[in-house]
Structure 1
Amino acid sequence: MFFLPKYLLRLLCFTMILGALPVIVIGSVSYSIASRDIEQKVRESNLQILHQTQMRVEQVLRSLQLSSIQYVNSPLVLQAMKKPLDSSEFQEIRDLTSGFNNLQSVTNIDQAYLVNLDEDWVVSMRSFGKLDDFSIRDRIGSYLKYTNSLFWVTQNVSSSKESIPVSAGVGEAAQETVPTLISSDNVVSMVFKIPMIPTNVKPKGFLVIDIADTELSTFLSRNPNSGDMYVLDREQKYFLNDTEQDGKYDTLNQEIHEKVQTTGQSEGFFSAEVEGSQVAVSYRQSPLNGWLYVSVVSLSQITAQSQKIALVTGVATLVMLCLTGLVAIYGSRKMYSPISRLLQFTKGLDSPLAPSGRRQDEFIYIEERLSTLFSSEKTMREQMKGQHVHLQEFFMTKLLTGKISEEDFRYQGQLYDFPTSWSRLGVLTLQIDTLEGTRYEEQDRDLLLFALNNMVGELLPSDIRFAPVMIDDAQVTVLASMLDDEVQLKEWMHSQAELIRERVVTYLNLPVSIGISRSYSAIGDSPRAYQESREALQGRVSLGSRIILHYEDIQPRGQTEAALYTQLRMIEDQLASALKQGDEEKTDAYFKRYLGLLSDKKLHFSEYPVIMVQLLSRVYQLVQEQGGNVAEVLGEKASMARLLKLSTLDEMTNWFRKCLFQPVIRFWREQEESQYLNIARRMIRLIEERYDRELSLEACAEELNFHPVYLSRVFKKEAGVNFTEYLAEYRMEKAKTWLQTTNLKISEIAEKLNYTNPTAFIRTFRKITGTTPGKYREQQR
């Protein structure tokens, strides 16, 4: 007998339910919404049909009413109502009858009567006579009860077939002009009191227009979707119905009347039961005569379309269920495949557990098998405890370097016994200032950092700090405090840093500095705070070593003045000349002057690397000008990367002297002593050194112990121009520099360049640059 695996069966059932439930719910909701929409549309359609039917009927009635009013108010009728008439006044009777014929142009009427109660005569469409000669005499009494001058009366028996009275004087001639009347059992009467004044006083007469029910029934809708349609009069009796109802809707009509009386609304819709069948009823009340237009539709007729939708929805749902089942089977097997492979793997493991004969859940089986591979909970905790400190440090390193989110830190931080509540945080970064002059060597730096990290962990309680860590060449600690006041918080963090520094000096006799970040509250801001603490440490360049620096106390001073760079450049030129000459004393003097200028200007620490890199580049240039290779002459210790790692001004000073100046002086001395020294370069060096004095080719020949013609030929070949042109161009380059960076007068610059006549200087400057010194200064500024 085939059995599905227990978990696979659960997975299959779950996916079937998960897939089938939305399909069934969506199908049911769709059918419900569609059915409701169809019923709403049918209801609105029926009300619209009722409204159109009402408009058609009332349009005819209003037209007939207006025509009748004109007829009643015509001079002919007004004069006739004031006097008696007899059959001898044939022409006047004929004229009155002709007015009835005009009403036929509006709609086919069954009969019309002009009744004069005071003079006791009646003119109809086909006869004339006394009131007692006409069947309308039975209705006149009921008409006297109405107070309105115009009213409608239904449920009247037709009198169109009544015989012409003997007293009538209309005769055969009149009969020929009258159209054939409609034969109907019931009529609707439109009654006008004459005169048309609403009062309880007995009127002089009436104008009665009878319209056959069958005539008005033609205006009712014959749409099969609108069901049975009929009209109720003011007494809630139906008429104008196209089928015989036989009291079928009497109870329904009474309910309609109660709803109209209760709600006061002129239209409505509701469901009811008629003879055991559910029907939808729509009704509208006419403001013209108070009639109610009613439509009764069977609900089965309305829901016929819904049943089609239900069929389509059911088929679609069934198809979707089949597809869901196939997908569920396929998906369940796919999701079960890793469990199946894991189950097969665990079956191959050695286990002291005896196999159970019952059908076991796969996960329970796997759990029992894997439990044999792990040690007890106590052993596992002991193993993890040994790695706890390393995990803390690893986790803090990821936090400070921005490799873990704040949310992950809060989740995992509780596992490492970190502080869980604080008001403000701050980062302390400790660095060793220098190892020179101490009992330690450079190779001891990492070991010293490790010792400093352990010392911080022992000095600071665990409730005010996170795990101390080492990052690159620094020791970093995140402090947590409940203080809110910034001043108090700053003092507290400074006191903690001071405590650490004092203990380091006491126990290790090591110069260290500590940078402190701004305070913050969100643990996710720790990477930014760490960078701030490192930036604070850069202040050692200008402030010295063995200090504690706060980030907010190290603010940029602004842009360095252009004059400072000009002065530094001049000292650089002098220092370069001293290096070329191999004069260590001058080199050291110029370098002290260089550093003194930097110290006097009190530059921001961020500006020192830029200036020092500039000086380094100038030294590199000296080596390259002499044809040497920087890496070979200076070695790895004189690299720019090494310069950028120096943190204090003392370290930079010693580095320049030992790693740069001394090797460069040795290199230049060796080059000077070499028999292959380039004569052109020596001449250029003379120009660079004596451009401000009287200098000629002959003077160079005397200095270098060569013949002037020989020197001229060598210089022309190496430099590409003759000696005089090169000297003039070099002097003009110096003039350009002074014009850009100083306020020296043109005459002063000419004198500094050994021009006794400023005019000669200007002429030479224009020849070489194409413009005068004054214009050049204006262009550059």
Structure 2
Amino acid sequence: MVDSSLKNISIDAQKMIETGGSLEQFLEATSDRALNFEASNQLSNLMVRYGLIDSVYLYRVKDGYVLDQSTIRPLDQFADRSFVQTSLEQAYTGVWSSPRAREIIAQGAPAQIRVISLGFKIPRDSGSLGYLMVNVKISSLSSYIGQMIDRTITDAQLYDSKGNSFFQAGHTAPSKNRLSADVVSDYTGWTYRISIKGGQLLDFLFHGSTLWVLLGLSAIVLAIGSMFYVTRRNYKPIESILHRIERFSSIIKTDPKDKDNEFSFIDQAIERLITNNMAFQEQQQEHMVIRRQQFLQILLKGEYKEDRPAWEQEWQHFGLSAGHFMVALLELDQYVQFGLKYSPADQSLFKFIISSVTVETAEQNGMNVIVEWIAKNQLVILLISKENGTLEHQMLHLTEQIRAWVEDHLDFTVTIGIGTAANDEVSIAQSFEDAEAAVSIKVSVGINQIIDSIEVKGRPDREWFGYLDMIRTIVRQLRMSEAEWQHELRKLFEEITIHRLRKEDVDRLVHYFIFQLEFEIDGALPEAMKPWREVAKPRLSAAAEQSDTLAQLEQEFLATLMQLSDNLIELSQSRRHNALMREIRNYVTEQFMDSNLSLTLLSDRFQISPKYLSQLFKESIGQNFSDFLIGLRIEYAKKLLRESDVTVQYISEMMGYGNPTSFIRVFKKIVGISPGQYRELESRREDYSER
């Protein structure tokens, strides 16, 4: 048992120092709190797995620091430094040492404890990176052995290869006597000695008269005679059983060696019966879990209508009586950070804790619930009640207790969406759909709270055009290095917050934003595509995936786009004729309503050929002159439609279109809807914002 425990410690220690592990990163990298914490956590985990271990520490050759399960310090401040220095000079490590005195600091004063130590160089051949040391207290080893023997009648001693005692410092192994037995370990080379405590009585038994020998022989003869008598007395039933076993086993035996071994057959049969029974029970438990999950999935999706009798059987099987129902959906907040922070085993443990707390809280409140994880970060809570009037109050009370418990006792939070009440099992699917919709708007309303489905219902239809138009405006302003893009970006997030869009809707808008920005950059500044693909785009995509709230998403977007804007400005300024094109663009921006404005007019004014001017427009702005001019006029037309009551025909004439139909066609091609629809849409949005 001792050898097995020490071998397991050695094996796990060697796994920790394998190439490419986190310990090697700690030894090779510069001092970093995250690496320090991760390495210290691994050392602590090794101590937790093996209670024999007194301490584990890691020496880093690079800067001479020692890390243990609690702190990191220079080697000259480490109490056990002399042993580390001696171990590094050894040619071969990985062998358990003899008992030694380990230096420690106890209550501010130096002290010593007796330990055995196991050290590994990292890497094993040179130790150029560091050294891992595991210490086991001699007192812990003695207690461990004491658990396996009765010290009132047995004495156990342990000696190293030189005969030095482990448990009696300064003593060596005495000569062996008749009442002791020695075992030499093939693994450590230590000697384990077991002795019987008996004093004069045992001496008398071993050295006394032959009377005891005669008594012993008599007892053996009596036992044999009794066994023979009992066997003869009961031989007929036993013989009958053996004959039956022989007949049965002769049918199924294939190995002639087992012909007369009926007891072996009985043993195998019993062992097979026990094994099959255990396997059957495990399989039944797995089937129950899968059956429960399938039942809940069908219930939430409402896919049971085709096989109603089977559904009724499942309903009765799980003990669910007809009544009133309500579904809540619990979702882990900031699940990406949750997955990065905790190992899969810890994640499973936390999920088990949450589901157990939910069931226990419901039972304490006299509620009947079904609880099941249907996704990596979503837990369904189905409340079943005989009373319909208090159903919503019960669910609100239950979910608030769960949310508060998680916030108080765990290192993360949850958001819970509550569906509508259902009076029969058919309506449960709708209640689940409402709960999904409720929890999906946490991106707009915030995390760590209870969201009722009533907050989702009654909202106006999602007016996608308005958001897409705002995104195109932001992208154009950002590409043209206009400072107004930051204001427009904040305005976009304000609109999303006011309308409380769902998570999936926000994701669609974000991906459209990224697509539109990439399209514009590729057309206007192809040289900016490399920093866009390597830095800006991955950061924007990661923000969309990892942000649980609009505030987080807006903050990350603003920081990334500001950095991108600086890059675009720098690239634009490096282009030829940048100052000239800035002057031309400013002029066009001021005079865009002039009906005579054209490439020819600009060519005469700025003394540059129309063909070359058109090329510079495309290179600098990313659009040809006519598209740029139409874009300015359409933006002005949109402003008039939003802020004034002038007619579409009047705006058409201002834009230089003799026929309003042509203006409407161009407006719809660029904006996506007609001028009249745009004015109506903006009016509705303004009214809703005021409310």
Q: Fold match, TM over 0.5?
A: no
Where relative contact order (Cα < 8 A, 6+ residues apart) is larger, the structure is: 1
TM class by smaller structure: 0.3 to 0.5
In terms of Rg, which structure is larger?
1
